[in-house]
Amino acid sequence: MHHPLFTTKEHTPIATSLVPHDASYYGKCAVAGVLACGATHTFLTPLDVVKCNLQVFPSKYTGLVQGFRLVAAEEGLVGLYKGWAPTALGYSAQGFCKYGLYEVFKDAYSAVLGDVVPSGGIYLAASASAEVIADVALCPIEMVKVKVQTSPVGTFLTAIKPAVAAMRANAAETRFPFGSVVPLWSRQIPYTLAKFFFFEKVVEAFYTHVFTAPKESYPKPRRDLASGYLAGVIWAVVSHPADSVVSLLAKAEHKGKSVPTIVAETGLTNLATRGLGSRIPIIGTLTGLPWWIYDAFKSACGMGTTGGIAKR
């Protein structure tokens, strides 16, 4: 027997919350998003440093383990945390918009379209809308982060304020602050569509076909990590070519080149495979762990966990 709040009807998505979805609720979701994105991305900065260098300097960086050793040998352990400050700042801003606005858009689209659009359509529309805005917030500091992480030692500033000033001063060459927003959208929107859609759908499937006792009787961390990690692995593969382009835009020899030119010169196979081995654990963790943090914060605030569309 299914839990009474869940149904298998396509046009009647699960309803999971009796908490009023007001400004306070959305504000807390945005704060939870800051913790979910900012903390996890900053924690995994070493993986991101190696991944970016694998994409930009494939002849020098040939694998994940070799990349860690090379960065540590040339720059010390501190080199593995290059760009941690812009990472923390940029992804905190992204998380604020991504999670907070997802809840806003999900409720708004459900109120208008809930009777005619399946739950999956609501999840996709809400996550895409939120990500478009979140990437505009992320883009300037993401460009700084990539430049810091992929510049050879001593060729670019590493402190965040002077690095931003240098990017701005050379805006004609760096295309700062929004030169990477289109490839960023190409990378992040498909990933976020998968991240939210598959998370929501895995949760629905869990409680419809596998976990048939009341939702509250199951440990939330296991559910959130499993659902999020599965979504992350799938879309790490799909979004990797665009992620490679974002990294290559920061390479000195590509200064002034258009995205189509970089794609043509690098080749789709290389864009899809270079650094993918390191990107999979990054994105899997960056998808599962944030959901755990996000829902843990919401639960601590008495807001319930994510999954489905709120009752009205």
Predicted confidence (pLDDT) at residue 59 exceeds the cutoff of 90: no
| Whether residue 177 has a cis bond before it, omega within 30° of 0 | yes
Same-domain pairing of 164 and 277: no
Domain check: are 157 and 272 in the same one? no
Q: Answer yes or no: is 260 within a domain.
A: yes
pLDDT in tens, 101-126: 999 999 999 999 988 899 999 999 99
Q: State the residue range of the domain holding 161.
A: 21-189
Average the pLDDT over each of 30-34, 82-86, 129-133, 222-226 and give the range with the smallest value: 222-226
177 and 216 assigned to the same domain: no
Rounded Cα distance between 290 and 288, Å, is 6
DSSP annotation of 155: S
Are 144 and 227 contained in the same domain?
no
Tell me: do 50 and 168 sit in the same domain.
yes
Buried-exposed string 79-112: b where 16+ CB fall within 10 A, e elsewhere: bbbbbbbbbbbbbbbbbbbbbbbbbbbbbbbbee
Q: Which of 129, 158, 189 is the last residue of a domain?
A: 189
- If one counts the domains in the chain, the total is 2
Contact 229, 285 (CB under 8 A): yes
Contact 51, 282 (CB under 8 A): yes
- As a whole number, the mean pLDDT across the chain is 84
Q: 198 in a domain, yes or no?
A: no
Model confidence at 217, pLDDT cuts 50, 70, 90, reads low
Please give the single-letter amino acid code of residue 267.
G
Q: Are residues 268 and 152 in the same domain?
A: no
Could you give the 3-state DSSP secondary structure of residue 210? helix
In this structure, are 176 and 217 located in the same domain? no
Residues 47 and 165 in one domain: yes
Last residue of a domain, one of 189, 222, 252: 189
Q: Are residues 34 and 148 in the same domain?
A: yes
**Selection from 158, 201, 184 nearest residue 94 by Cα:** 184
CA distance 55 to 271: 8
pTM exceeding 0.85: no
Same domain, 158 and 249: no
pLDDT in tens, 142-163: 999 999 998 888 889 888 999 9
Classify residue 33: in a domain, yes or no.
yes
